[in-house]
Structure 1
Amino acid sequence: MVESVEAPRAGAVLTVDLGAVRANYRQLANMTRGACAAVMKADAYGIGMEQVAPALALEGCKVFFTAHLEEGIRLRQLVPEHCAIYVLHGPPPGTAKECFQYDLTPVLNDPGQLHEWRTVAHKLGRELPAAIQLDTGMSRMGIASTDLAALSRTSDWLQGLRPTLVMSHLACADEPGHPMNDAQRRRFDTLREVLPGVPASLANSSGVFLGPDYHYDLLRPGAALYGINPQPGMPNPLRQAVSLRARVVQVRSVCEGDVVGYGAHHVCAGERRIATVAVGYADGWLRSLSGRGFAFVDGIKVPIVGRVSMDSMGLDVTGIPAERIVPGAEVELMGAHQTVDEVASAAGTIGYEVLTRLGSRFHRRYL
């Protein structure tokens, strides 16, 4: 376990179980006959790329994805040289040489990026690796079918490039019965015919659970690695990787009619005990949890009362033994009694947003 003397000074402690991340990777990798990558974008979904990437490399992961070039440059320092790193947004204009310098493989999403990467290959006098992303209906990233048709009519459209992967992204993979999943898979099979023999990738975290028809040569899980449920509404088959405990700053008794928090939105209906804990929206604890979310004290659910403010929030701890809730004591915000997906549901969002918003003010422990 990585620990520091700064832990008692922090308002909250975020614990990341790297063993759980590795176990999730093993489980996902064992579901396919092909290879399994790991998506590291947004600082490994907010839990720390510097710690997660080496752990996954030790587990045998050889392919990684980031969103931005800068993330790829950081990642290159963390994993062995033989690992492939793909940059999902491709090379920003004028940065193609940096991709080459740091041995990063861009994911080319439009004719402009394709042209720029070909230009760099021509200047260097060598073939350069590239992934080609195809838009199969999400209208977000990837070469549109009309552009692909126009490009492929020219025999030299890939001159100077060595395609190492052809990929697309599913829009509704977390809804197994949605007809768009099959429509995108079929469209992907049609469009990738212009790249015969190139390894293919379609499945994101939820896509892995759509079955072998979606697996192709490479899986691209991200959120599932970190414990977010890839099958909403069903039991989570993966291990929770993140827990969060907040420290109590103050405890006070309040009377009927007293107000808790900004805006006077919470008015006490009787005598209550209110604990103020040192977590707020500046830490990434969503303001939408005001009056809707919960914490746990020794397995007992206690509600958030009043508005979540910048640095703190109130909990109604009436009935909890007084000796248990004192300044410096900890309460559970995520962990054994409340998953990241349950927090997200209370906040009216998704687990992705909860994890990626978790701020830098927490003390972090890595197990």
Structure 2
Amino acid sequence: MTDTASDGERADRSAPPPPASLRLTVDRDALAANWRALDARSGSARAGAAVKADAYGLGAATCVPVLRDAGCETFFVAHWSEVAAVIAHVPPQQVAVLHGVRNEAECAYARAVGAVPVINSLEQAALWAATGGGTCHLMVDTGINRLGIAASEANEAAISALDIDILMSHLASADEADSALNPRQLTAFQSVLGAIRHRRASLANSAGIALGEDYAFDLTRPGLALYGGAPRPELAAAIRPVAQVQAAILQTRALAAGESVGYNATFTAPAPMRVATVSMGYADGFLRSRGPGNAFSHNGRRLPILGKVSMDMVVIDCTAAPDLAAGNWIDVPWNIADAAQQSGLSPYEMLTVIGGRLRRD
């Protein structure tokens, strides 16, 4: 009998994929140490953890268990779609959803899984009560003008009816030590504490922790500093880098003088040189804006980027490392505490734009 099965039918779809040419390594010990340092810096308050945006791009499945085991008991996400990945590792009542509840479906989901909404408006407060009520958190806007009820709404009946665990606000300029907005927001927050029944109060984010104990209240909400960023110089000595990104060389080649590299030929070789094409691009979070003047490295040797960053590839100058070959791993600059590496991106962006093709060790 003739075998008429197609190649697709003969394929073993259960076969594991080969090793990736990209990797993201999360230093779990550094992550745990950062949380403990921020918890200690919070004084009598307890530090929670912002784990929204897939733990700032480093993977909730990787980071949440580390933070839990370090002692964290309160976790913050933005979207309801982020809840499942977090409650796989911690009790759902420890998870707060910052965007609150917009409709009955979100209220039903909150009660079904046990995560706690952060109520942000009188409309959300009324909706939560009308669909059954229960424990919630409440955001009060004190000057950032994003989400939250106005301080003038603190005595509204819809707010008085809520069972509030965490009463919170968000600092707009905590990374600026001399900002007049910080004490104004502190005073505004203090003014509503007596008007709204709650069990815990929370104001300080990562940078807010450095503002001192007046801003700590019962719970702080670090995010960036957990993952290696130091938004205030007072935190820099205590915060360790967490993420390391590496990419494999796909190919090396020799350029003749006058040959160009990449889209729009923005780099032309001034002399014969050896270059390498690396498996990393803007689809992986290494954005085009980070290319000019930047460099990859190998064993401390600087490998300048040549031409434009492509979707899946970057070309580098191997003059300083003539021994490099296809398959070698190259360090991708991702030190979020180093402003020179950012090329116009904030540390938050450098983390959260990390692409899905990077595998987490």
2:59 matched residue in structure 1: 48
How far apart, CA to CA, are the structure 2 residues paired with 1:240 and 1:165? 30
Q: Does 1:358 align with 2:354?
A: yes
Letter in 2 for 1:217: D
Q: Which amino acid aligns with 1:329?
A: N
Counterpart of 1:60 in structure 2 is 71
Q: Using the alignment, how far apart are the partners of 1:255 and 1:234 within structure 2? A: 48
Contact persistence 1:7–1:363 (CA under 8 A) = no
Q: 1:124 — aligned with what?
A: none
SS at 1:195's partner residue?
coil
1:23 alignment partner in structure 2? 33
Q: Evaluate the alpha carbon distance shift between residue 287 and residue 256 of structure 1 in structure 2; reply closer, same or farther with a 3 A threshold.
A: same
Whole-Å separation in 2 of the counterparts to 1:119 and 1:105: 16
**Which of the numbers 142, 161, 167 marks the counterpart of 1:136?**
142
What does the per-residue CA deviation read over 1:120-143, in whole Å, with 9 as the maximum and x for residues that have no partner?
A: 22xxxxx51111111111111111
Residue 107 (1) aligns with residue 118 (2): yes
Contact 2:210 2:235 in 1 (8 A): no
Given candidates 154, 157, 160, the residue that maps to 1:158 is 160
1:232 Cα shift?
5.8
Q: Aligned partners of 2:202, 2:16: CA distance in 1, in Å?
A: 43
Q: CA deviation at 1:341?
A: 3.2
Gap change, CA 1:22 and 1:73, over 3 Å in 2: same
| CA pair 281-26 structure 1, distance change in 2 beyond 3 A | same
Identity of aligned residues (%): 35
Amino acid at match of 2:329: E
1:85 corresponds to:
95
Shift of 1:349: 0.9
Contact preservation (8 Å) 2:142, 2:185: yes
Q: Would the aligned equivalents of 1:293 and 1:343 in 2 still touch at CA under 8 Å? A: no
Change (3 A) 1:235 1:197: closer
Count, aligned residues? 345
Q: Is the CA contact 1:133–1:141 (under 8 Å) kept in the aligned structure 2? A: yes
Match of residue 343, structure 2, among 326, 344, 347: 347
Q: Which has the higher contact order (CA 8 A, sep 6+)?
A: 1
1:201 touches 1:220 (CA, 8 Å); kept in 2?
A: yes
For the residues of structure 2 that align with 1:25 and 1:109, how far apart are their CA atoms? Answer: 27
Contact 2:24–2:359 (CA under 8 A) maintained in structure 1:
yes
Partner of 1:71: 82
Match of 1:51, SS state, is helix
Task: Render the CA deviation track for 1:23-47: whole Å, top value 9, x for unaligned.
Answer: 1111111122121111110000111
Indicate whether 1:186 and 2:187 are aligned. yes
- 1:158: Cα distance to partner? 2.4
Instruction: State the distance in 2 between where 1:221 and 1:60 align.
Output: 14
Task: Give TM-score, length-normalised by structure 1.
Answer: 0.88
| CA shift for structure 1 position 271 | 2.2
Secondary structure of 1:274's aligned partner: strand
How far residue 268 of structure 1 moved from its aligned partner, in angstroms, is 2.0
8 A Cα contact 1:46 1:356, kept in partner: yes
- Does the Cα contact within 8 Å between 1:230 and 1:236 map onto a contact in 2? no
Compared with structure 1, are the counterparts of its residues 119 and 234 closer, same or farther at alpha carbon in structure 2 (3 Å cutoff)? closer
How far residue 345 of structure 1 moved from its aligned partner, in angstroms, is 4.4
Preserved contact between residue 335 and residue 341 of structure 2 (Cα < 8 Å): no
Distance 1:153-1:246 versus aligned 2 partners, 3 A rule? closer
Per the alignment, residue 332 of structure 2 pairs with: 333
Give the drift of 1:69. Answer: 1.2
**TM-score, normalising length: structure 2:** 0.90
**Structure 1 position 74, deviation (Å):** 3.0
What is the CA-CA distance between 1:236 and the residue it aligns to?
A: 4.8
AA in 1 matched with 2:109: E
CA contact (8 A) 1:293 1:346 kept: no
> Residue type of the partner of 2:252?
V
Tell me which residue corresponds to 1:174: 175
The one-letter amino acid of 1:328's match is G
**Cα drift, residue 343 of structure 1:** 6.8
- Aligned-partner SS, 2:131: helix
Between the aligned partners of 2:301 and 2:339, the Cα distance in structure 1 is 16
Give, in angstroms, the shift of residue 108 of structure 1: 0.7
Deviations 1:75-111 (A, max 9, x none): 2222146x52110000131221211111111111111
Write the distance in 2 (CA, Å) between the matches of 1:42 and 1:303: 31
Cα distance in structure 2, aligned partners of 1:74 and 1:198: 27
SS at match of 2:23: strand
Gaps of 5+ in 2: 1-14
8 Å contact from structure 2 (residues 294, 341) kept in 1? no
